[in-house]
Amino acid sequence: MGKVYLTGAGPGEEGLLTIKGMELLKACDCVIYDHLASEGLLRYAREGCEKIYVGKVAGHHHKKQEEINEILVECAQKYKSVVRLKGGDPFVFGRGGEEAQVLQKHQIPFEVVPGVSSAIAVPECAGIPVTHRRVSRSFHVITGHTDNSLEDSEYNYKALAELEGTLVFLMGFSRLGQIARKLIEAGKDRNTPVAVISDGTTEFQRVARGTLCSIEEEVIKSRLSPPAVIVIGETASYQYQGNLGKKRIGVTATEPLQKKLKAAFVREGMEAVPVLTMEIKKTEQMERLGQELDCIEQYQWVLFTSQNAVSLFFEEMKEREIDIRRLGTVKFAVLGSGTAAKLKEYGILADFVPSHYQISVMAHEFAAVVKKEEKVLMPRAVRASTELEKVLEENGISFCNLAIYDVEGKPGRQKMDLEGIEYLAFVSASGVQSFFDEVKKQGTCLPEGIKTACIGEVTSQRLKQLYRPANIAAGVNNVNGLAEAVLDYIKNGR
């Protein structure tokens, strides 16, 4: 019999998971998670850990609570350590108490690991204190989903209306209009401030403000969607935020690069919002790469023009159980410091890096370094620039160019939302293409005056073809270089 940890995942922002929760995720054999637990937290789970999704979204219940209870018991009987990851805190409207009862009934050892509740954290991140010595000495948390539902005509709105503190409603977004009307009917001042915070604590956070008599209309105008927290009371008009005016930058990149960009922009006091996530799709030529790896000794050089190619190359080596010592006589050429850093993660320092991180510069400088009798292996993207191949051919250099992967863009949300975005950052030509394909597909309009930033010559060229020249071009082709270039642009007011 294993042990179950009922663990609070926090309100949405990955960094608000507790250290204990993270350590349990790293060590567990199975994690059972719901919709409100950020899927990004699953990266902490070790390789081989079973991941079971049991999420519930309003109107779309993936699993009923009774089914979740059964899964908990079954997993506890199968695994030594099970983490039940629940949004917010497990005992704050998360049915953690019910799950604890089931575990206790079956005599399954369990432990409750508190989490940061969205009832407090979400208003805080919108600059709203749920208590304030002068206007609110208490706060009250109410759920929109209980046996005694807010829809029930017998629900005691009069008692809520008479409370002097702040009212915080969780899971009540679909009943916002009803809540406001019922509170007014029960005697609450119609001009009481209200704030509705959607996707609180995350990069997608948006806030609508109004009063009991106007908030429903304000939310419709703002096009907010659940999950959302409703705050009613005098403190809802407050906006204590040190980051007001923080620049929001829409990022188009793969998940790993998004995380690096987010960290780099945060260090510079900016906020990175993933508008399009690029997903790597292996092509049929991965099989050909495997064949070339089986006889890697015939090559004197391996050339990488992207971090993705580096990762896929070494993943294929691992998959085929090719001893890394067979690369002993092979030299490596890379385009850019980011690709060099990725190669270094595998314990290899690049033998050749061009003086400027441009494909044209690399092509000519590399052609001058490679000997005529040497052979080059080039695992690359489907839509990589053909200039490199052209220059190598002109110089009589033997090479094998393999288009081992392509990238496809997936919106960060179902509908690509660019509201409040002042800058767009692109790290690849394929990212530029996918972004504008999605813009066309969804009929999205780019905000007036939006600025664009690019890494690399090829990326900038694609942007110029599809939209207009980039406002910002990174002098150093890595995420830190991009962040610094954007910051320099902002500071100089260009």
Verify that 348 and 484 share a domain, yes or no: yes
Structure pTM?
Answer: 0.68
Determine which one of 1, 22, 26, 34 is catalytic: 34
For residue 216, what is the domain's CATH number? Answer: 3.30.950.10
Verify that 192 and 282 share a domain, yes or no: no
Confidence of residue 467 (pLDDT cuts 50, 70, 90): very high
Verify that 151 and 172 share a domain, yes or no: yes
Whole-number Å distance between alpha carbons of 32 and 132: 37
347: enclosing H helix or E strand: none
Verify that 339 and 192 share a domain, yes or no: no
Determine which one of 171, 270, 317, 362 is catalytic: 171
User: What range defines the domain where residue 17 resides?
Assistant: 3-115
431 backbone dihedrals φ, ψ, rounded to 5°: -65, -40
Verify that 281 and 376 share a domain, yes or no: yes
Tell me the pLDDT tens digit for each residue of 77-108: 999 999 999 999 999 988 899 999 999 999 99
For residue 429, what is the domain's CATH number? Answer: 3.40.50.10090
Q: Which of 33, 63, 38, 67 is nearest to 50 (CA)?
A: 33
Other CB atoms closer than 10 Å to residue 112's CB: what's the count? Answer: 18
Q: Which of 377, 425, 370, 429 is nearest to 397 (CA)?
A: 370
Question: How many domains does one find in the chain?
Answer: 3
Place of tokens 């991965």: 286
Domain boundary among 210, 237, 264: 237
Verify that 102 and 126 share a domain, yes or no: no
Whole-number Å distance between alpha carbons of 123 and 493: 33
Whole-number Å distance between alpha carbons of 270 and 38: 21
Whole-number Å distance between alpha carbons of 323 and 344: 17
Look over the chain and give the mean of its residue pLDDT values, rounded to a whole number. 89
Question: Helix (H, G, I), strand (E, B), or coil: what is residue 230?
Answer: strand
Tell me the pLDDT tens digit for each residue of 132-182: 988 899 999 998 765 555 555 557 899 999 998 999 999 899 999 999 999
C-alpha of 12 from chain center? 11
Verify that 218 and 269 share a domain, yes or no: no
User: 239-260 burial by CB neighbour count: b if 16+ within 10 A, else e?
Assistant: eeeeeeeebbbbbbbbeebbbb
Verify that 334 and 420 share a domain, yes or no: yes
Verify that 263 and 217 share a domain, yes or no: no
For residue 100, what is the domain's CATH number? Answer: 3.40.1010.10
Domain boundary among 186, 202, 237: 237
Q: Assess whether 171 carries a catalytic annotation.
A: yes
Q: Which of 267, 183, 273 is nearest to 232 (CA)?
A: 183
Verify that 104 and 196 share a domain, yes or no: no
Verify that 133 and 89 share a domain, yes or no: no
Q: Assess whether 282 carries a catalytic annotation.
A: no
Q: Assess whether 286 carries a catalytic annotation.
A: no
Domain boundary among 75, 97, 115: 115
Across the range 245-272, mean pLDDT stands at: 82
Indicate whether 223 pLDDT > 90: no
Determine which one of 1, 20, 22, 56 is catalytic: 56
Verify that 205 and 72 share a domain, yes or no: no
Whole-number Å distance between alpha carbons of 134 and 240: 15
